[in-house]
Amino acid sequence: MIERTYKVGMYIRLSREDGDDKESESVENQRDIITNFIESKEDLELVDEYVDDGYTGTNFDRPGFKRLKEDVDKERINCVITKDLSRFGRDHIDTGYYLERYLPSLHVRYIAIGDQVDTLDSKGLGFLTFKLSFNDYYSQDISNKIRAVKKRKQEKGEYLAPYAPFGYKKDTDTNNRNHLLINDETAEVVKRIYKLYLDGMGTPKIAELLNEEGVPAPSSYLDTERYNKCSHKWGKGAIYSILKSKVYLGTITSHKSYKVNHKVKTRIKVPKNEMICVENKHEPIIDEETFNQVQEKLSKGGESRNRLNYNPIKQFVYCGVCGRKASLKTHKREVKSGEIHTHQYFRCNKKGERWSDCDNGTIRNSILLPLVEKTLKEECSKIIFSKGDLTSIYEQAKESSNNKKTLIKRQIEKDENEIISIEKKIEQIYADKIEGIIKIEDFTKFYDSYQQKKEKLNVKLKGLKKELAELDNDKIIDYRKIKKLAEECLNMEELEPALLEKLIDRIEYFKGRKIKIKFKFTESK
């Protein structure tokens, strides 16, 4: 006689590292094994199937698993079955949490057929910790092997992105799938973009022209859920990317970013000098002379701009209340005579947000420019140091910066060691729970406490590393050069962008036509 019938949720997962053609782990194979198992047991009744095809087991950010979890919470199912433990998850800490804390707390049974694990049978749990640790190690090993293979392909100049760049198409030869071939239709658009830009048309105007002519944008060629939601319109960013990309010279650039490890999604950007560039890997669309002319023009874009909203202080202006970057706006108004009156003003970007609490007003450009020039020249006129004073200030600033970097590095090392210590403690309490040394309630309390400490330390570390990077990038200003800059400023007839870049860090504006300038050669102003 059956004492109880369990409502089963069949969970199937196939990860990318398993490979779609690996029969032993295919979705259909897992389904057959679980279905046959359920049919052989009188106390099991299949309610639903949950599939994650192409999702890694190192985390639980999977749509199928999330739906299963929702049904567990709703008590729609009270038993979860997988082909084996690795199909449920490979990270032994998080997998252990779900199998020995989350599911048991809701009185949900779990069965891993291949590993002979059944939470109703204590014998099947004997080697659970070992098996989960092995699965975690296997995932790391696979990740390292995939990364090594990818690196070798990058060094050979193979194009590994899933979609060919605009102007090209993937080679259909199965032995050369990472090779690019020219797409005759879109390559002509690329050539035209380069020509229009060299003829004097800016990136926004080029995008506008292509949209008016109905030329399909790059996103219209990408048949994915993400890009199907796009408007498929050209933008200045897409034009700029095409003008900057070396792929049109026949060069493959790769290793632009990397993941710290197989468990962390965040990608770290790689400096340009460390990227992998392999030349002459496919037929170029743009000749080298044309490409270099475009790069030269792009680099001088700021010098040749003649747009209405160009302004020498635009990049330095911030809101003095909330600290948000200010935007330069242009207002046009037609007067009774029919003339169009135009004026420019700066406005805090936060004021445009629906729930903004910033009450700073706007400031006219015609007011701000003279104020900046007046304050700048007043400050420069005060710079009258003797040679000895200048040397002393420079050495003090340099020593102060080095001391600060040393303190930050020590704190980073201390916090990283603390995180390692916390992770060891989590491992220990997890093992203690499995062996019955501590109760599950105590494990839960300690686990949550350690995770909170770890999260706080990670946030703190991120801030410290950012601060250290900023200090490394900051150059200690040689105060002996300031006098020369000050003299140039005092002799300046109008605000010159190149000189302002050397002098000003930021300009903050407030109500009542008040401003505050932070100079690069003083603490504050």
pLDDT, position 20: 42
Token pair recorded at residue 343: 């004026």
Q: What is the 3-state secondary structure (H, E, C) of 434-476?
A: HCCCCCHHHHHHHHHHHHHHHHHHHHHHHHHHHHHHHHHHCCC
The b/e string for 371-390 (b: 16+ C-beta within 10 A; e otherwise) is: bbbebbeebbeebebeeeeb
What average pLDDT does the segment 65-87 reach? 92
- What is the reported pTM? 0.40
Q: Which of 425, 398, 411 is nearest to 464 (CA)?
A: 411
Q: For residues 104 and 97, what is the distance between their CA atoms, to the nearest angstrom?
A: 10
Q: Mean pLDDT lowest for which of 120-129, 344-353, 363-372, 436-445? A: 120-129
pLDDT exceeds cutoff 50 at 523: no
Asked if 117 and 110 touch (Cβ cutoff 8 Å), the reply is yes
pLDDT value, residue 1: 46
% the chain with pLDDT above 70? 74
Q: Which residue has the tokens 């790391």?
A: 140
513 close to 363: Cβ distance less than 8 angstroms: yes
Q: pLDDT digit string (tens) for 253-312?
A: 887 776 655 455 566 677 777 788 888 888 999 999 999 999 888 887 644 444 445 678
CA distance 438 to 436: 5
